[in-house]
Amino acid sequence: MIEPILKITGLTACYGKISAIKAINFYAHDNEIVGIVGPNGAGKTTLLESIAGSMRIKNGRIFFLGRHIEKWPVLKRRQLGLMLVPQEGNVFPMMSVKKNLEISVILSNRAERKGLIDYVYELFPILWERRKQIANTLSGGQQKMLAVGLGITSNARVMLIDEPSIGLAPKLVTRLFETLKKIKEDTKKTIVLSEQNIKILNIADRLFGLEAGKIRFDEKTKNLSRDIVKDLYLGSIS
């Protein structure tokens, strides 16, 4: 069996005395889109932040690209190729779109830099149009596109994206999801995203259902019925 690129065992993370995620096992393979679904407060953000290193964990092991990284600081994990796109605020707010991309691309090979930036502009033409605009004056949706763009230019191997659909119009959600699928196909990256939007079924290869800090299912998307996901984990969102 092929080893997962990211493997997590027995992960527990707490806020004070309350554990938000409880002894979770989780994994993602190379070139896979993995969805983490679950209602508000299920622990999705806590899990992603624990993997990225911005949340301190109580117990557990995180194995990434052949190394145990659970004690590593955020930046070191980032340099190895693990990047979190948080629910909000993941761009350099006072810099232009162009400058944002030029800074993040420094983490990539010199020879690939221009191609990576061109690829982001090809995926999101609006960012090319707005390349001179200061990032914090972009709309919420445009900032999200830029945040995903920063993940691409920095050449992250695994992008952890926290609820990318929040605040986006339905059409834009569809477009962003299609773009994430294209990114996976073009770049062979792994994308782990948390979601409450049912459209996740259209792009995820596998889904982890999370509820009250515990994994309730881990299934290939094709084996899951839409109703199970919708009723149990996504509330009434359609």
Ligand X SMILES: Nc1ncnc2c1ncn2[C@@H]1O[C@H](COP(=O)(O)OP(=O)(O)OP(=O)(O)O)[C@@H](O)[C@H]1O
- In terms of CB distance, is 32 or 49 closer to ligand X? 49
Encoded amino acid at 210, one letter = L
Q: Does 45 bind ligand X (CB under 6 A)?
A: yes
Q: Choose, by CB under 6 A, the member of 10, 41, 93, 115 that binds ligand X.
A: 41
List the structure tokens of 80.
């190895």
Pick from 34, 44, 77, 130: which binds ligand X (CB under 6 A)?
44
Q: Binding mask 38-67 vs Mg ion (x if CB under 5 A, - otherwise)? A: ------xx----------------------
Residue 81 binding ligand X, by CB under 6 A: no
Helices (H) and strands (E) in the chain, counts: 8, 10
- Of the candidates 1, 2, 17, 40, which one interacts with ligand X according to CB under 6 A? 40
Burial level of 154, CB count in 10 A (0-12/13-18/19+)? buried
CA distance 123 to 187: 12
Q: Decide: residue 132, CB within 10 A, 0-12 exposed, 13-18 middle, 19+ buried.
A: exposed
CB-nearer residue toward ligand X: 152 or 159: 159
Q: Applying CB under 6 A, which residues contact ligand X? A: 15, 20, 38, 40-46, 196
